[in-house]
Amino acid sequence: MTRQRPFSTILLIAAGAGLVVAAGAPTARATVPCGDFGECKALIEINATDGDIGFHFLMDGDDLISARIDDPNGAKVFEDKAKGPLREQKLTETFAESAEPLCWPDPEADPDEEIVTLEEFVARWAAGTYAFSGKGEGGETSSGESELTHELPAAPADVDFDGSVISWSAGDDLGNCASWAELNDLVAGGVLPVHPEDVTVAAWEIVLEPDVEDGDPTGRLVFSIRVPGDVAPKEVTVPADYLASLPDDTPVKVEVGAIGVDDNATFSEVDGFCVNEVEGCED
pLDDT digit string (tens) for 137-157? 888 999 999 999 999 999 999
User: Is the preceding peptide bond at 233 cis, omega within 30 degrees of 0?
Assistant: yes
Give pLDDT, residue 23: 33
**pLDDT per position as a tens digit, 51-98:** 999 999 999 988 999 999 999 999 999 999 999 999 999 988 889 999
Q: How far is CA 224 from the centre of its chain?
A: 12
Q: What pLDDT, on the 0 to 100 scale, is given for residue 215?
A: 84
Residue 3 lies in a domain: no
Distance CA 110, CA 126 (A): 28
Q: Is residue 282 part of a domain?
A: no
Domain assignment present for residue 140? The answer is yes
Residue 281 lies in a domain: no
Residue 61 located in a structural domain: yes
Say if 206 falls within a structural domain: yes
**In the prediction, which pLDDT does 31 show?**
61
Whether the predicted pLDDT of 232 surpasses 50: yes
**Residue 157: how many CB atoms within 10 A of its CB?**
17
The 8-class DSSP code of residue 239 comes to P
- Per-residue confidence (pLDDT) for residue 282, from 0 to 100: 78
The residue count for the chain: 283
Tell me which residue range forms the domain holding 16.
10-275
Count of domains forming the chain = 1
Q: For residue 245, what is the domain's CATH number?
A: 2.60.40.10
pLDDT > 90: what percent of the chain? 76
203 domain residue, yes or no: yes
- Is residue 244 one of the residues assigned to a domain? yes
The 3-class SS string of 202-270 reads EEEEEEEEECCCCCCHHHHEEEEEEEECCCCCCEEECCHHHHHHCCCCEEEEEEEEEEECCCCEEEEEE
